[in-house]
Amino acid sequence: MPTEAKRRVIDELREQLGRSSTLIVSEYRGLTVKEIAEIRRSLRKQDVTYRVVKNRLMKIAASDTRGSALDALLIGPTAIAFGTDESATAKAVIDAVRPFKQVRITGGLLGDRAIDADGVTRLATLPSRDVLLSQVAGAIAAPLATTAGLFDAPLRDVAGLFAALADQRAAAA
């Protein structure tokens, strides 16, 4: 039976899982407490929370919210980065752990879908969600603007012809 302290930790993890859309799981074996604090500080500036978790407690917390997708990633000493923007979170974690060669990213969770370490690396190279949305909006707006210009061109040409005709008649008179 879990103790009261473990129940509180499970509740905190459930709450954190509910607020986060992206989880990046890493193995921190060989890091000192000072180095982990340095990673946390670096990630906090990017609105990402980095937390060392007990695998069993995380599995219990995730079973209610994310299902069993996270279970395969929870092996060995585990630290999880919790974030809201998929690509920004992945990029922040990769940048924060780069100086520490002993940290190994094992995978991640996007919503309720698990991705491997290569998927996290590919995700980090994507632009942020806002940039992607603006690129999609631009891709939709560009053909519409071109079409509007094509419909407008004959009217412009006719107006130019009438203006030239008026100028010609004014010069003749």
Could you tell me where the DSSP H helices lie in the chain? 4-19, 33-44, 55-65, 86-97, 117-125, 129-172
**pTM of the predicted model over 0.75:** no
Question: How far is the C-alpha of 7 from the C-alpha of 2, rounded, in Å?
Answer: 6
Question: Per-residue pLDDT tens for 58-115?
Answer: 888 888 777 777 888 888 889 999 988 888 888 889 888 888 888 889 988 887 788 8
Confidence of residue 1 (pLDDT cuts 50, 70, 90): very low
Question: Per-residue pLDDT tens for 17-49?
Answer: 888 888 899 998 888 899 999 999 998 998 899
